[in-house]
Amino acid sequence: MRSVGISDAEISKFQDPYKWLSYFPPLAVEDLKAFGLGCDWRRSFITTDTNPYFDSFVRWQMRKLKSVGKVVKDVRYTIFSPLDGQPCADHDRASGEGVQPQEYTIIKMELVAPFPEKFKVLEGRKVFLAAATLRPETMYGQTNAWVLPDGKYGAFEINESEVFVLAHRAALNLAYQNHSRVPEKPSCLLELTGRDLIGLPLKSPLSFNEVIYALPMLSILMDKGTGVVTSVPSDAPDDYMALHDLKAKPALRDKYGVKDEWVLPFEIVPIIEVPQFGNKCAETVCLQMKIKSQNDKEKLAEAKKQTYLKGFTEGTMIVGEFAGRKVQEAKPLIRNKLLETGQAIVYSEPEKRVMSRSGDECVVALTDQWYITYGESEWRKLAEECLSNMSLYSDETRHGFEHTLSWLNQWACSRSFGLGTRIPWDEQFLVESLSDSTIYMAYYTVAHHLQNGDMYGSSESATKPQQLTDDVWDYIFCGGPFPKSTDISSSLLDRMKREFEYWYPFDLRVSGKDLIQNHLTFCIYNHTAIMAKHHWPRGFRCNGHIMLNSEKMSKSTGNFRTLRQAIEEFSADATRFSLADAGDGVDDANFVFETANAAILRLTKEIAWYEDNLAAESSMRTGPPSTYADRVFANEINIAVKTTEQNYSNYMFREALKTGFYDLQAARDEYRFSCGVGGYNRDLVWHFMEVQTRLIAPICPHYAEFIWRELLKKDGFVVNAGWPTADAPDLTLKSANKYLQDSIVLMRKLLQKQLLGSKKNKKGPPVASLIENKVTGLIYINEQFDGWKAESLSILQNKFNRDTRTFAPDSEILEALQQSSVGQSSNFKQIQKLCMPFLRFKKEEAIALGAQALDLRLPFGEIEVLKENLDLIKRQIGLEDVEILSAADADSLARAGPLGSLLNQNPPSPGNPTAIFLTQ
């Protein structure tokens, strides 16, 4: 807070949570106005009970959900903050957003009497090493338990008679799951290390070995599971290699004080038959992959992936009560039996580390609270139907929603303290922050009618919060009957209902990609539960996060800017320009200071160009565009209008900046070069200035308004001027101009090679100006493919699907080539070497551009285009004269004289002219 200029005296006031609501939102409005945000500020509102109108809306929403059975009270495992004393939903987390509880089975491995000296204090109780497993069906094959030698463990009271030995973190989780003598407080009777546990004799459920021992394993993670691991070397590659190492390496046993009798007598116990891998799949895969020791981490990870997946999906139990059954069937049956007989308990912990915003590490707690029944089968079908009809603008976003719908289940919607709305039927709880913001898009439509533009809902209004009964909300949003008992005027109710019907369904909700897994999916669910189908959401556009200069924003490193700071440093429009350029799609955007600074210079230079040309307009050509350069420039403006409109429609602002600014600038610069002595066409320049100002206005509104009113002297605002109209782009003309520009580049290279040999002319005047004699260019054109190229194109045309832009298999194309006149020629093998690269190139071109790429001629006359631009060619290359000649005309070929051999070495083809240069 100090870093943004808040005094210490003011900071102390933020101990009151309501201070945050009164202090920051008005500043946010000021900053966004400075940024140039176009917004109907009348519809702003605070989303807590500070705002009694919104509070009424959320209470109605929650009662509505409860009335249709979507809110229930249940005991479930939930990510929980011990410090806060309440569930920790995604928005309450500093890290670990989206992390869910992971459920394990704890196997109770009983310590066999007599107890070692260290454990004497526990005599009289049942002591268990508590091993967490995801594979209870494999317990038949236990040969030992694993512990981390240097790990810190404890012996914790679970109840009056049982003690669990496990990691402290796991004990804390268990304490919040009703597995501690003192609820929510682990009671540690004895501090231990992994070395204290090595060699303990254990009796483990389902194991065919009557007694097994705790042995050292160095890869155990103390922040995952309980720190105690069961060992099943028949089916777990890590177990197999660790046991193999202990058996094969006496020095390793000596290092940790492991006696031979704890290891050497124990052999692999086959328990599951796995196709291809047999009944000792871990051993089989480790041998196949040539894994040498437990330190081959990468190979072991791959081996685990293979054996676990195949074992679960295709394995068959060959031992125990459920022998003959598939592992998938037997697993829940075996687990239930272990739980029913008291040989195991259910244990849950966060999938990954979760830190609350209060700064403590979260656990999984078994809580009795209110849940929204996301994931319920019929409701999920409605959500999936809604999603299938939505515009999401990227496949990645759609996949994110589909994945979320596949796993999202009951969601804890209540919490004990914080800001928000009270659960109306159980006011000891508040609605948590991700559950009260799921349909507030509907509230935008009526907020200004209720709050008179006051975001806090505290100003005098004709409508009082207590008048907003459920019947009123139902009438406005759900097509309910007119509320008979209301004293709100019918005209106001009808205005609100009409406005809701006007705006809904909403076409677009823009939000961060991190909210796909909660807020946005909740939005879909809640709309399908509360609203009629014709009011379901139509579209979400998800963004990534923002980086500064390719690095994550961080106050600690100084790589941080607030919106206000960026505006003060770069200006609003340069900030917006750089944000638009930062990236599209759901990838993280990259705000680059250099881009913002360059935008300042570029926009300033553009203003100077406008001023210079407006001052010089009297000297410009008048009348309609008439030259080739005019037509090309006008066409580029039309293309910019159409493509930029499409890019804005798809919310691809970087692409819009490219097509509506950068590409248009390049077209303007090319027009300047192409005009020559004739100069600009005045009407076309004015048209360019008007169009570019409109196209850049969404990104740089202040700059655009200055151009529009101060320089172009237009009435009104550019933001109200509407999108510019444009003729349909002439793609043939665009192709012709690209051909012209590419040909000029090609001719320059040929002149360089012919007259200067290998000398480079990277910078400086045109090549011909370096030659003392005057130079004439003879440009030879062949406007139609012939010979083997024509035959190849004919074959490709027959093998091309115009609708799908796909070709028949290469084998078919090659067979057709062999059967053609080209294939029957005596020198086919020699021609084939030329054919194959040509076929590949034309296939790629057709897939990208369509069937026209396979035509024998270009869609424009090459000779006509070049003849119309002789002056430009001469100026660009520095030639005295230029002649455009047909390679099919014998007299034209004779003009080349002794340089005619160059035509044989580099014959012209459609799109690739050949130039010969004569000096005088």
pLDDT tens-digit readout, 7-21 = 999 999 998 889 999
- Report the sign of the C-alpha dihedral through residues 912, 913, 914, 919, in that order: negative
Kindly report whether the peptide bond that precedes residue 250 is cis, defined as omega within 30 degrees of 0.
Answer: no
pLDDT at 759: 52
pLDDT on residue 831: 83
Which residue in 670, 716, 672 sits closest to 697, CA to CA?
Answer: 716
- Cα–Cα distance, 856 to 538 (Å, whole number): 46
pLDDT in tens, 496-519: 999 999 999 999 999 999 999 999
Greater pLDDT, 814 or 707: 707
Residue 766 is predicted with a pLDDT of: 57
Q: What is the pTM of this model?
A: 0.78
Predicted confidence (pLDDT) at residue 595 exceeds the cutoff of 60: yes
Residue 912 has φ and ψ, to the nearest 5°, of: -135, 85
What count of Cα atoms within 13 Å lies in the side-chain half-sphere of residue 57?
29
What's 384-426 look like in SS3?
Answer: HHHHHCCECCCHHHHHHHHHHHHHCCCEECEECCCCCCECCCC
User: Can you read off the two tokens belonging to residue 840?
Assistant: 């590949």
- Hey, is 908 helix, strand or coil? coil
pLDDT at residue 127 greater than cutoff 60: yes
Residue 763 has pLDDT above 60, yes or no: no
**Confidence band for 80, pLDDT divided at 50, 70 and 90:** very high
Q: How far apart are the C-alpha atoms of 380 and 363, rounded to whole Å?
A: 28
CA angle in degrees (0–180, nearest 5) for 739-742-747: 115
Q: Which of 329, 309, 310, 311 is nearest to 321 (CA)?
A: 329
Quick one: pLDDT band at residue 788, thresholds 50, 70, 90? Answer: confident
CA distance 167 to 202: 18
- Using DSSP, state whether 199 is helix, strand or coil: coil
Contact between residue 888 and residue 782 where contact means Cβ atoms under 8 Å apart: yes
State how far Cα 385 lies from the chain centre. 22
Which helix (H) or strand (E) is 345 found in, with range? strand 344-350
**What pLDDT does residue 3 have?**
77
d(CA 629, CA 679): 10
Long-range contacts of 387-393 (CB under 8 A, 24+ apart): 387/524, 389/536, 389/538, 390/524, 390/537, 390/538, 390/539, 390/540, 391/508, 391/538, 391/539, 391/540, 392/539, 392/540, 392/541, 392/542, 393/539, 393/540, 393/541, 393/542, 393/650, 393/651
Spatial distance between the Cα atoms of 433 and 413, rounded to a whole number of angstroms:
8
Residue labelled with tokens 């809902």: 457
User: Across residues 370-374, what is the average pLDDT?
Assistant: 94
581 backbone φψ class: left, alpha, beta (φ>0; ψ -120 to 50)? alpha
d(C-alpha 232, C-alpha 144), whole Å? 8
Average pLDDT, the chain: 92
Peptide bond into 183 cis (omega under 30): no
Query: Which residues are bridge partners to 422 per DSSP?
Result: 430
pLDDT computed for residue 756 by the predictor? 67
In what side-by-side order are the strands of the sheet with 71-81?
86-87, 71-81, 363-372, 411-412
Is the pLDDT score of 555 beyond 90? no
Show the tokens assigned to 356. Answer: 């609350």
- Strand, coil or helix: what is 125? coil
Report, as an integer, the average pLDDT of 896-913.
Answer: 86
- The dihedral through the CA atoms of 157, 158, 161, 164 has a sign that is negative
pLDDT at site 770: 53
Structure tokens at 724: 């510019």
Please state, in angstroms and rounded to a whole number, the distance separating the CA atoms of residues 698 and 721.
12
pLDDT > 90: what percent of the chain?
74
Distances in Å between the Cα of 43 and the Cα atoms of 321, 443, 523, 644 are 66, 9, 19, 30
Kindly state the DSSP code that residue 436 receives in the 8-state scheme: S
pLDDT band for position 59 (cuts 50, 70, 90):
very high
Torsion of CA 477, 480, 484, 490, to 10 degrees: 50
CA distance 36 to 119: 71
Flag whether pLDDT at 713 surpasses 90: yes
Average confidence (pLDDT) over 749-760: 72
Taking only the tens place, the pLDDT of each residue in 185-205 is 999 999 999 999 999 999 999
Model confidence pLDDT, tens digit, residues 407-465: 999 898 988 888 899 999 999 889 998 999 999 999 999 999 999 999 999 988 889 99
Rounded Cα gap, residues 23 and 434, in angstroms: 22
pLDDT band (50, 70, 90) for residue 760 = low
**HSE-up of 92 (CA within 13 Å, CB side)?**
29
Closest C-alpha to 865, from 882, 845, 843, 847: 882
Number of alpha carbons in the 13 Å side-chain half-sphere of residue 344: 26
98 pLDDT exceeds 90?
Answer: no
Of 436, 444, 399, 586, the closest CA to residue 522 belongs to 436
Tokens of 515: 């909210």
pLDDT interval class at 767 (50, 70, 90): low
Q: What is the DSSP letter of 278?
A: B
